[in-house]
Structure 1
Amino acid sequence: MRQICHGKQDWLDIKWKGGVIAHTTQTDSFSCGVFVMQMANTAVQNFPKIPNQIHIGSSKPEIKELRRKMAAEILDASVFDESKNCSLCSSDPGSGQTTS
């Protein structure tokens, strides 16, 4: 009905095609989260293009640095500015939009 009445296509009607992107693999048993996040980041940064290859440094120092950078990026994005945002709803009174 949605497609007939409104001319909209649902995600489940799309014929998806699988694919493989060549990528580095983890060399330990505990860095899968770093690899998943880096692969997702690369895919999002290149969208709508599909990257041919994703290289992620897998040495201990490289993984350590990736973890540090990801943590810093997440923390930077979640900083609450008490002087600018409402402590009750996180909105910026000057913008008219909420940030939560």
Structure 2
Amino acid sequence: MEAKRRLLTHEARVAGAALDLDDDTCWAAVERRDATADGRFVVGVRTTGVYCRPSCAGRPLRASVVYLPDPAAARRYGLRACLRCAPDAA
């Protein structure tokens, strides 16, 4: 499962452009709902097809997320904006 998560994350980075943060750093920001990470990256949730701010109140599973540099990259990946956190306004 870990290998698959890493492969999907790599795929998202190739599709969306390189992200300067590693997966563990991004996940830590999502777990803390860290508002200071908003604007640095967006969180794509493959199971729901949405992308969110790191500070969003939604609680995705780690295995379901990819980290993308911005909303435009998330849309190219085929995701839509979360209605709860409105990541396009970040």
Q: Give TM-score scaled by structure 2 length.
A: 0.27
Q: Work out which structure has the larger RCO, using CA pairs closer than 8 Å and 6 or more positions apart in sequence.
A: 2
| TM-score for the superposition, normalised by structure 1 | 0.25
Larger Rg: 1
